[in-house]
Structure 1
Amino acid sequence: MKYLFGILLLFSLSVQAQFQLNGIVKDAENAKALPFASISTPSGQNTISDVDGKFTITTLAPIREFTISYIGYDKKITLVENGKSFYMIALQQNTNNLQEVLIPRENPAVAIIRKTIALKTQNNPEKRIPSFEFKCYNSLVITANPDSISAKIDTLITNKKNVKIDSSNYKFKKMIQNQHLFQTEKVSLFQFKNNHLKETILGSKMAGLKQPIYEILGFKLQSFSIYDSNYELFETKYNSPIANDALKEYKYQLLDSIEIEGRNVYLIHFKNKKKKRAQGLEGVLYIDQNTYAIAKAVMRIKGVLDISGTHEFNFLPQENIWFPSKKSFKIVKGNNDDDLKLLGGTIQFEGDTEKDFKPRKKGASDFIYLFSKSANFEIQLNQPIELKKGAIALEISKEASERKDEFWNTYRKDSLDIRSKRTYTVLDSIAKKNNLELKITVGRRLINGFIPAGPIDFDLRKFFSYNNYEGFRVGLGGTTNDRFSKTIRIEGYTAYGTKDGTFKYNLGIGTRLSEPTNSWIGIAYTDDVREIASTVYAIDKRGFKIYDPRPFNISTFYNYKNWKAYIETKLIPKTESIWEVATAQVEPKFGYSYQLNGKSYTNYNMTTAMVSLRWSPFSDYMQTPTGRVEVEKRFPNFTFQLTKSIASGELNDFSFGKIDLKTEYEKKQLNGQKTSILIQGGYTFGDLPITHLYSISPNNITKETIMQRITIAGKNSFETMFYNEFFSSEYLYFQIKHGFQRITLFKKVKPSFVFVTRMAWGNLNHAERHNGLDFKTLNQGYFESGVELNQIYKGLGLVGFYRYGPNGLLKLEDNIAIKLSYILDLGF
């Protein structure tokens, strides 16, 4: 049986190779490669050569001849010879052919593109057609071509005592002949209505996994529409070659004129004017000569990774429009002089060919590529569509991972070959043997700061920390996971401070109300300490940090003993919220008292109702069977929090309220630069002690010299503002950051330059009520600017800021803060 399988496998490979031709197109006179030449067969199949003049054409039937054409050159028909799979095609120039397509006084390609841009709205299906839906079959593989890999076994080291054999390529070739490295399929329903496009995944199958990795299903390889102003390729956005301002950024060349579906189309090559040596978007647009719509598009980025995306369309005569029919996407390794490290593994690159690098022996990873293809079917236009959960961009049905063979045999556009079938069998077996799904679960939780141990996820943030009040804080904390219960959650922690000598703890229990909306209801008790005048948004996600630099020098804390009942939910579209009722006993742990109505409060009770809500109206969300996930974060987003006292007497010593607002905006430019803006404000009314007012994240210590004040920089903190220097009952904070592309100073030194400006204004009502601290107010405003040189070496960086304006200090050196920065790079 084993030998029979081997014979069948070799037969299938030979059949595939029989109908595939490869070649290169060159100028007959100077032997220069001709990029984007047209290659077509009598059966109507066509392709183009790449930027290096190379091409591949594959058909299901034998190819007897093919035609090569290129604008300004004579067409050439080449007969296919038995046993020959590679052809070098030399074309002769013929300038007379250019006269047929020249438009006076203007580059013909520019004139065509100008009309294409002008007619975008009427040719874009999402603008022209009120509603449509279709199903789509997609497959993705990570694999290699066995024929490109040498099966030779090499001797690396030979001497009298030691012989080392290198059989890595040999083993890899044997494996890749039998299977792919990874394989996944999905069937989706796409629906468009009211300018909103939604994808519902009806079926998904991922080799080696019973439950798919939802992050992979939500990964955006290429734009859905070729008409988007910013074209997206591998989750990176580029200015589209038919954007309104594209003529300023791209240069165009008319390559040829061919037929697609019986309609004449122009072939227009485009390339970014400013980008050199494969740094920008490049490709070919097939433009209908009558309607100036896109009939096909090839988009490519060639650099560290060689990435290409292809869009194909079918012409619908009744609507007189080209509608998307197929897409493909491919990644292969490119050229780069640095090895790429990814989560502990290393991918080696050959090095830039224009530099003097020593060639290295190619390993198995040099031949690996990712290939994805999609085919649309059952297309319906202008039909009544029921678009459920319209705020969701991607929804995964509960039955998606449970589909049987009948489902896949119905929707697959091509039946699986032996190699693909073998992939599912082998990877399922390997995954089961190596507990792959468990390892993926562990990896996800580690990234979020948890170590899973059976039914409990231990919180890495609770193990160890340091601040100037508690000293070293050591503890243990965590939460139960699905192995304990899918509907009940118990969480808590305990900690001990070596300096203050006291234990802190928390214990809470909750139950799930709704899985799709991530809704929980619960209660919790906490006895802990917190930095005074710190703004804490309950809805903010606590990202895991190996270190948190700010608390190192904070010594003013308050103790709170807090009971709370809460509901957290994502029920409202594009929002997440926490609704809470709490009662707390508060005791400042420094010499402080609050004077009110002739009474001095050194500790006090507070009972409050609070709602904390984040709204991300422009983000895209994925609805999975286990909850809702933000798959594409867009800006601006908005955070709102309202806290109001709700009781009197023994449960509440003060009547007060707090309103906190925050908005974040981030703009990633197409040249790799990034601008981010943060606006934050708070307003209190009623009677509030200083523990619950605002200090706006100061991060500077009181020392004599600049060198003595060197600490670790925070993220959004005032680096020149001293701790407890300012307090406010209402404030407005503004920050703008602009980051440039990383600059290579030396091979290992590549800093990222970020220019930062921060400013704040504030006011403190009834300052005379607060005793125990000397402080100022922000009535005249506070200003600092500086530069961050991040990731200079191994994640380490240097930060410098200067304080100026009305609150500038008399001594120049006191206005300067120099800090260290550290960015942990996990290789994602």
Structure 2
Amino acid sequence: MSKYYLLLLALVSNFTFSQTNNNGEVKTKDIEAVILQDKSDPRALEILRKVNNNYLFNSPESLPSYSYKSYEKISLDFDQDSIKAYNDFITQRIDSLKRLPERPLKATERKDSIESVQFAKLAGQSKLFLWERASEILFSSKYGEKINILDNKISGLKEPLYELMAFRSNRTQIPKEIKEENRNLYRYFLTDSLDIDGRENYVIRFRQTNYRETADKKKFTGYIYVDKETFGLKKIESNSTIENEGSITSTWIYNGGKWFLLKEDYKLKLNNNLLNTGLNPDRKKNKEEKKRDHENTKKFGQYAYATADYFDFKTNINSSSKDFQGYTIDVKNSDGTLIDQYRTSELSKREEETYVTIDSLSSKYKLDRKAKALTGLLKGKIRVGIIDFDLARVIGYNKYEHFRLGAGIKLNERFSKYISPDAYFAYGIYDEKFKFGAGVDLRTSLQKNSFFRIEYFNDVMAAGRFTENLWNFRMKIMSSGVAINNNVFYRYQGFKVSYENDLTNGLTVNVAAKKSEEQSLFAYNYKDLGNQFDISSAVITLKYSPKSKNIMTPEGKFTYEQNFPEVYFNYEQGFKGLDGNFNFSRFDVLFTQNFKTKLGVTGIRAYGGLLVGDAPIWKNFTMNGLANGRNGLNFNLTSYLGFATMEGGKYFNDRFAGTYLTHRLPWYFKSFGKNVSSFDFIYRGVIGDMKNPEYHQFEFEKLDHLYNEVGLEWNNFLSSQFNLGFFYRVGHYNTSSFKDNFAIQFKLKLLGF
């Protein structure tokens, strides 16, 4: 029972209603039959071009302000036409099992058998999962978007899942079926026009390009209805090319001169295997039982159903800054007591029974605990009671420690809403040394991200790393291998006190003071002063992410949608007067942006750093080389700011500027399987200098010419979840050896840009 429940939670935690939906009153003419060809109708492509050109103008977000409400429902169930057959099948199976001769069973086998029978009966009486959400959406061109959760109800869980509560629908996104970059994934045909709600619409049929059969108009996978006057989308219907695999329908309504999404319906087949091998498939069976199960087995498909209704549209509303204070999502109520006020249709008997049935099973199968554990995985942690285990600290690899094994724990809000201690330890296989740290967060507010932190640390780090303060989990994971071929490490031990506060939804500030003892772990001498120093400094970090969307949860702020642009700024000031050995100022900044044009999607990372004053080499900046520096092939994993062809730990500067450019070509194709592939062109460049390299008495080079590498990345390589990149070094640092200049790089797709 629980694994299927968690399967749907995993689906909806990253769920987007894919673009399409139904239920406009359609007065149709007879649509002419069309002979399928393997190229699109130019008339249909021209209409779709105008749809894209007018999309922003037709979007409600081109208005000064608006508001509306929504009611959304997600469930897990059998196909409606299969429920009676399923119940008949279960009854027959139970009767047949009763007639079998009894044989001795172990206690665990008997328990599993009883639970299997109970669950089989319950699955026929109710849905397996049900979740409802009611929201109010406000928009202002001046203040942005605000979503008020009016109520929320989920079967089997006593506490709301805030990560689920923040899932994104497609109400503001361009449907994938009409995106220009997806044109070669479909074939489009203009078939007729029809009247919908008193407005004339073009009718465009489409099918996926891998569907080559001809002549039968039923082989079309969907329809697009386009308003003739405005070229706004009225409706999209999309079906899977495989029968009963799924369907999506979306309908828009014309209101205030703009097209608002009115309704979405989504049906997706999850699997075909639930209870398809008898009532107790887990216990060992003899040959006769297996044969009998095979003969009597029937398969019943499980589907995820999602619906969304949008209503109470208002344009040009009176709004003030108070209406948009706090994070993007504000939870007004979440206990399910008000949800019936916003339902756009009554619950069916199966849906009503779901809350009763699944709630009764919740404590037995510990669904609350397992659901919380699953949402923790999305943030890189495993939750067990009051303890969160940090997955990022379990294993790592670098040139100094080689494999690094460890563990990190943090007491969560179940321990205390305001106090959260944490600790970690790690052990390096190669250096054979333990590292550890401990700290405590003291929250000052439950309405937003605001807390003091005190911590102690005794650890090692690669010299010259770019500051990662306030980076999210995905960015840090991508950058975790930046020191994989850098053996220039230093040890640091000391204390730090900091305060972090979200001044607005998009602006975070962190101020800190730290005192540490730092020592090189390589042969080094700075200005004949040795290799061990006391550092006293203050640090201020700013993060500006005006378009990212957040929600406050009992665990703290959760960014459910990271949007660009983003700016990260760090300023560290070293003090000689507070028992520190040096006065210095260290600055670094990172700017990220991602934008789309007709030529494709372009991503930019621009970053740089400056060190002024006296400081050891690890306070300077390494250039993030990932290559091994040997004669073999350069093969590495991607890094957020790393260079695939640059030797690790070779270059250090006290000032530098770098850029990472990626451009995704608007050409999408399928090799095999279900994933769609594409190509990215990538350019990485960096240049800098060092004022007094002779102060640092160890072997390194300053990078004072432009370092360039270009690459081509194949996204969803062979329909896998990995991207494969090929990179080549050009310009001043190019050598006569192909192996030195060439590198292959792997990247996990989910890491994104």
Smaller-chain TM-score bracket: 0.7 to 0.9
The amino acid across from 1:434 in the alignment is: Y
Residue in 2 that maps onto 1:178 = 125
Show CA shifts across 1:422-462 (max 9, x none): 01111111222111110122223334333334322233343
Map of 2:72 onto structure 1: 138
Q: Given the alignment, which residue of 212, 232, 242 partners 2:160?
A: 212
Q: Report deviation, 1:749.
A: 12
1:586–1:606 CA contact under 8 A, matched in 2: yes
Q: 1:567 to 1:272 in 2, by over 3 A?
A: farther
Indicate yes or no: 2:295 matched with 1:369: no
How far off its partner does 1:580 sit?
0.9
Name which of 178, 203, 206 aligns with 1:268.
203
3-state DSSP class of the match of 1:428?
helix
Looking at structure 2, the residues matched to 747 and 119 of structure 1 have their Cα atoms a distance apart, in angstroms, of: 34
Name the residue aligned to 2:547: 618
- Whether the 8 Å CA contact 1:655–1:686 is kept in 2: the answer is yes
Name the aligned partner's letter for residue 158 of structure 2. K
Give the distance between the partners of 2:76 and 2:427, measured in 1 at CA: 49
Percent identity reads 24
Distance 1:395 1:626 in 2: 15
State the distance in 2 between where 1:674 and 1:264 align: 34
What is the CA distance between 1:201 and its match in structure 2? 1.2
Partners of 1:535 and 1:758 lie apart in 2 by 16
SS of 2:157's partner is coil
Question: What TM-score, normalized by structure 1, do the two folds share?
Answer: 0.69
- 1:662 maps to amino acid: L
CA deviation after TM superposition for structure 1 residue 173, in Å = 9.1
Secondary structure of the residue aligned to 1:737 is strand
CA-CA distance at 1:270 after TM superposition: 5.5
Answer with 650-659 or 524-533: which moved more.
650-659
Cα distance in 2 for residues equivalent to 1:378 and 1:750: 38
Letter in 1 for 2:632: I
| Partner of residue 371 from structure 2, selected from 414, 437, 440 | 440
Shift of 1:592: 0.9
**Mapping for residues 758-769 of structure 1, pairs under 5 Å:** 758-769=684-695
TM-score normalised by structure 2 residue count:
0.75
In structure 2, what is the Cα distance between the partners aligned to 1:116 and 1:670? 13
> Residues 391 and 712 (structure 1 numbering): CA distance in 2 closer, same or farther, change over 3 Å?
same
Gaps of at least 5 residues in structure 1 are: 1-35, 40-44, 49-66, 74-92, 94-105, 156-168, 232-236, 340-359
Q: Is the 8 A contact 2:402 2:429 kept in 1?
A: yes
Q: What secondary structure is seen at the aligned counterpart in 1 of 2:372? A: helix
Aligned residue in 2 for 1:724: 649
Match of 2:281 in 1: none
Q: Report the residue type matching 1:677 in the other structure.
A: I
Partner residue of 1:775? Answer: 700
User: Which letter does structure 2 place at the counterpart of 1:142?
Assistant: L
Structure 2 residue aligned with 1:308: 248
Tell me which residue corresponds to 1:69. Answer: 29
2:401 alignment partner in structure 1: 470
Q: Does 1:506 align with 2:429?
A: no
AA paired with 1:531? Answer: A
Question: Retained in 2: the 8 A contact 1:303–1:334?
Answer: no
Which deviations, in whole Å up to 9, do the C-alpha atoms of 1:794-821 show, x marking residues without a partner?
76886543333222234444334456x3
Give the residue type in structure 2 aligned to 1:70. D
Higher-Rg structure is 1
How far 1:766 sits from its partner (Å)? 1.0
Letter in 1 for 2:263: K
Alignment of 1:799-818 (within 5 A): 800-817=726-743
Q: Which residue of 2 aligns with 1:523?
A: 454
Q: Which amino acid is the alignment partner of residue 269 of structure 1? A: I
Please, which of 684, 691, 694 is the counterpart of residue 618 of structure 2? Answer: 691
Q: Aligned partners of 1:694 and 1:206: how far apart in 2?
A: 50
What are the within-5 Å matches in structure 2 for residues 93-104 of structure 1? none
Alignment partner, residue 283 of structure 2: none
**Shift, 1:122, TM fit:** 8.3
Cα distance change on mapping 1:276 and 1:760 into 2, 3 Å: farther
Cα offsets for 1:205-260 (capped at 9, x unmatched): 11112233233333233225xxx7x33xxxxx45469x9x99xx996636344463
Change (3 A) 1:324 1:364: farther
- Is the CA contact (8 Å cut-off) linking 1:396 and 1:625 kept in structure 2? no
Letter aligned with residue 377 of structure 2: L
Per the TM alignment, residue 648 of structure 1 is displaced from its structure 2 partner at its CA by 2.3
Size of the aligned set, in residue pairs, is: 674
> Once structures 1 and 2 are overlaid, which stretch shifts more, 424-433 or 541-550?
541-550
Instruction: Tell me if 1:784 matches 2:709.
Output: yes
Taking a change above 3 Å as real, the CA distance of residues 122 and 586 of structure 1, as seen in their structure-2 partners, is: closer
CA distance in structure 2 between the aligned counterparts of 1:326 and 1:650, rounded to whole angstroms: 63
Q: Aligned partners of 2:655, 2:722: CA distance in 1, in Å?
A: 36
> 2:263: which partner in 1?
327
SS of the counterpart of 1:457? strand
8 A Cα contact 1:395 1:624, kept in partner: no
1:223 is matched with: 171
Q: Which amino acid aligns with 1:685?
A: V
Kindly indicate whether residue 566 of structure 2 is the aligned counterpart of residue 566 of structure 1: no
After TM superposition, the structure 1 stretch with the greater mean CA deviation from structure 2, 435-444 or 263-272, is 263-272
* 2:225 alignment partner, one of 285, 288, 304: 285
Question: By how many angstroms is 1:383 displaced?
Answer: 4.8
The offset of 1:512, in angstroms, is 0.4
Instruction: Say if 2:536 and 2:578, in contact at 8 Å, map to a contact too.
Output: no
In the alignment, the residues of structure 2 paired with residue 423 and residue 456 of structure 1 have an alpha-carbon distance, to the nearest angstrom, of: 31
The offset of 1:496, in angstroms, is 3.5
1:484 aligned partner = 415
> Quick one: which amino acid aligns to residue 779 of structure 1?
D
The alignment partner of 1:444 has SS state of helix
Q: Deviations over 1:77-101 (max 9, x none)?
A: xxxxxxxxxxxxxxxx9xxxxxxxx
Aligned in 2, Cα 1:386/1:515: closer, same or farther, shift over 3 Å?
same
Partner of 2:589: 661
Quote the residue 1:202 is aligned against.
Answer: 150
Inter-partner Cα distance in structure 2 for 1:193 and 1:419: 40
Range 206-215 or range 527-536, more displaced:
206-215
Name the aligned partner's letter for residue 206 of structure 1. Answer: I
Q: How far is the alpha carbon of 1:269 from its aligned partner?
A: 2.9
Partner of 1:160: none
User: Aligned pair 1:428/2:359, yes or no?
Assistant: yes
Q: Distance in 2 between matches of 1:817 and 1:512?
A: 46
Residue pair 1:396, 1:624 contacting (<8 A) in 2 also: no
Amino acid of the residue matched to residue 517 of structure 2? Q
2:500 maps to amino acid: E
Counterpart of 1:706 (choices 620, 625, 632) is 632
Q: Distance in 1 between matches of 2:418 and 2:141?
A: 37
Which consecutive unaligned segments of at least 5 residues does structure 2 have? 1-19, 35-40, 97-115, 214-218, 274-293
1:382-403: per-residue Cα shift (whole Å, max 9, x none)? Answer: 55344635377842424x2224
Q: Say which SS state the counterpart of residue 610 (structure 1) adopts.
A: strand
**Does the residue aligned with 2:159 lie in a helix, a strand or coil?**
coil
Paired residue type of 1:576? T
The answer to whether the 8 A contact 1:515-1:626 is kept is no
How many Å separate the matches in 2 of 1:750 and 1:110?
A: 21
Structure-2 change in CA distance of 1:488 and 1:283 (3 Å): same
Contact map agreement 1:639 1:663 (CA 8 A) in 2: yes
Separation in structure 2 between the aligned mates of residue 199 and residue 523 of structure 1, nearest angstrom = 34
SS class of match (1:649):
coil
Correspondence for 1:253 among 190, 197, 200: 190
1:351-362 superposed matches below 5 A: none
Structure 1 equivalent of residue 235 of structure 2: 297
1:90-140, Cα deviation, whole Å (9 max, x unpaired): xxx9xxxxxxxxxxxx99999998998998888765546x54434333333
Could you tell me how far 1:778 is from its partner in structure 2? 1.8
Q: 1:286 to 1:716 in 2, by over 3 A?
A: closer
CA contact 2:688–2:704 (8 Å) conserved in 1: yes
Indicate the structure whose relative CO is greater, using CA pairs within 8 Å and at least 6 residues apart: 2
Q: 1:437 to 1:813 in 2, by over 3 A?
A: same
The 1:443–1:117 alpha-carbon spacing in structure 2 relative to 1, beyond 3 Å, is: closer
What is the CA distance between 1:593 and its match in structure 2? 1.2
362 and 211 in structure 1: CA distance in 2 versus 1, 3 angstrom threshold? farther
CA distance in 2, matches of 1:378, 1:747: 42
Cα displacement string for residues 359-418 of structure 1 (whole angstroms, at most 9, x for unaligned residues): x999988744343334445555555344635377842424x22242xx344333333232
